[in-house]
Amino acid sequence: MFSKLVKLLLIAVVSSAMLTGCGQSKVSNTQDPTTAGQKKNITIVTSFYPMYISTINVTKGIPGVEVVNMTKPQTGCLHDYQLTPEDLKTLEKANAFVINGAGMEAFLDKTIQQQPQLKIIDASKNLELLKDETGEENPHVWVSVSNAILQVQNIAEQLAVVDTQNAAQYKSNAAEYVKKLEALRDTMHKSLDGTKNKDIITFHEAFPYFAKEFKLNIVSVIEREPGSEPSPAELAATINTIKESHIKALFAEPQYSSKAAQTIAQETGAKVYTLDPVVTGEAKPDAYDAYIRVMENNLKILQEALQ
């Protein structure tokens, strides 16, 4: 009797173990993302603010896609930017890194060396670049609305290759944003194309593409290298140019001190205005229209300055 009872207990334990094992296997398969057909999360890092704005528009409303801007809100153009340990940690989590290209991210070689698996999205791919008198290519392509449109399309096309599951949505979002940028460009052309006064003096080399698009003539540049004060000789030359050309407006940038521009204004009677190359700002998830808003404000300033 005792032996029969032991046998029954053993059979019950083995049966329970088999049922439990089957149950665990079933839950595991249900939770497997590949089996369930769930989309994987995608983290996209952008090099600085203008790339962030374009990228959040391209990725708008796509579940599982996160966009992170690498640099701080106050970071201007990346001419002399140095990678930080925090930047490298951010890039380690990235599936793709969206850059302006055209030589703007001088730190990129180091990034590629340390993150060889990182997919680089070059927003300036195949864009025609302007050169200064020394032959150096100007990377500020996004300041032209037409170039900003091409960059948005570039970002969408290259992300579609990296993340094929969301390819159609990237391209659809890009097309929607491009329509807004085209409307902005048309409005600016209607306001600026008929302006007789086309001569301007800018703060540094951020506006050649903008000037080319709207047929403005940059007579002189106050500081060719951002953050470098012009020499007395350069200041004197700019002052003479303004007096000879009867230019009434100087254009500083909100990212840099306008001290040199104010000095020139005092000597010439010209007025200092502010044009924003849309290079800095808070990387907020709802900053979709930040580029458009800044450009609309730039248009108002130009209308006042060039009338």
Q: Where along the chain do its domains lie?
A: 42-188, 193-275
pLDDT at residue 234 in the model? 81
Do 204 and 260 contact (CB within 8 A), yes or no? no
Assess whether pLDDT exceeds 80 at residue 38: no
3-state SS assignment for residue 119: strand
Residue 6, pLDDT above cutoff 50: no
Q: Check if the beta carbon of residue 243 is closer than 8 Å to that of residue 267.
A: no
Q: Answer for the pair 96, 159: CB distance below 8 angstroms, yes or no.
A: yes
Tell whether the model's pLDDT for residue 256 goes beyond 70: yes
Give the dihedral of Cα atoms 123, 104, 135, 242; nearest 10 deg: 110
- Residue 15 region, left (φ>0) first, then alpha (ψ -120 to 50), else beta? alpha
Quick one: what percent of the chain has pLDDT higher than 70? 85
Residue 15 has a pLDDT of 40
If we measure between CA atoms, which residue out of 293, 222, 254, 231 comes closest to residue 77?
254
Q: For the whole model, what pTM was predicted?
A: 0.84
pLDDT tens digits, one per residue of 139-193: 999 999 999 999 999 999 999 999 999 999 999 999 999 999 999 999 999 999 9
User: Reduced to 3 DSSP states, what percent helix, strand and coil does the chain have, rounded to the nearest 5?
Assistant: 50, 10, 35
In this predicted structure, what is the pLDDT of residue 187?
98
Whether the Cβ atoms of residue 52 and residue 69 lie closer than 8 Å to each other: yes
Question: What is the arithmetic mean of pLDDT over 24-29?
Answer: 30
Domains 42-188 and 193-275 share a fold: yes
Q: What is the pLDDT of residue 39?
A: 61
Write down the architecture of domain 42-188 according to CATH.
Answer: 3-Layer(aba) Sandwich (3.40)
The residues facing 45 across adjacent strands are 68, 97
Cα separation, 303 vs 292, in Å, equals: 17
Q: What is the CATH T-level fold of the domain 193-275, as seen in this structure? A: Rossmann fold (3.40.50)
Contact predicate 45/97, CB 8 Å: yes
Contacts with 102 (C-beta within 8 Å, 6 or more apart), sequence order: 124, 127, 129, 137, 138, 139, 141
pLDDT band at 246 (very low <50, low <70, confident <90, very high): confident
